[in-house]
Amino acid sequence: MIKFATSKNKRKMDEIIIEDKVFVPYIDYSRISKAIDDVAVKINDDFKSRKDVPLLLCVLNGSIMFTGELMQRLEFPCELTSIRLSSYEGTTSTGVTKKIMGLTCDITGRTVIIIEDIVDTGRTIVDLKTLLTKAGAGEVKVCTLLLKPDVYKQSVKLDYVAMEIDNKFIVGHGLDYNQLGRNYKDIYILK
């Protein structure tokens, strides 16, 4: 459940309850939208004069909202595909990346831009980049809405980072707690 109070036509974020956890406001949608605008500018600069058509790889389920919004801001031809991986149970990373749904198209020789909702330890990004390289990708770029720099210690370069955040558990804008909370436009932090 979520409650919003209205004051002078501006929406005020209130705490939300998901199952047994309480979350409080952390990042409002206007900041998220601005961050997506900024990262789209960087990607457009890199791809506007290229002749190849990159493949955006939406990492399900968390990056659906980010991918959709980012695509609306891209000004070059691109294709979309998805993969579904999981490394979380509840509020904790298991440290193991499970492939739930594999690649749905041939990526041989293609430029692939991984679109992630959040990168924390980076285990999923390392495993995904290895999988894409083995599948024959010509070039792999990584784009994430959120990065937790305090815990990311991997050697895989993150090409496009919209926002950096603290190492806290969050929900909203595609991120979940036990598959719930993805639908909130804003981002909330565990109280």
Distance (Å) of CA 176 to CA 27, 34, 160: 15, 22, 22
pLDDT at 94 over 60: no
What is the SS3 assignment for 57? strand
Could you give the CA distance from residue 53 to residue 37 in angstroms, rounded to a whole number? 21
Segment 28-60, tens digit of pLDDT: 999 999 999 999 999 999 999 999 999 999 998
Bridge-based pairing of strands 111-119 and 55-60 is: parallel
Q: What is the set of domains in the chain, with CATH numbers?
A: 29-184 (3.40.50.2020)
Active site residue 52: no
Catalytic residue among 28, 52, 120, 159: 120
Q: List, in sequence order, every residue forming a beta bridge with 58; answer none if it has no partner.
A: 82, 115
Could you give the CA distance from residue 128 to residue 5 in angstroms, rounded to a whole number? 41
pLDDT at 156 over 50: yes
Average pLDDT, the chain: 87
Contact 69, 36 (CB under 8 A): yes
Q: What is the pTM of this model?
A: 0.85
Region for residue 172 given its phi and psi (left: phi exceeds 0; alpha: psi -120 to 50; beta: otherwise): left
Alpha carbon distance, N-terminus to C-terminus of the chain:
15
Could you give the CA distance from residue 179 to residue 39 in angstroms, rounded to a whole number? 27
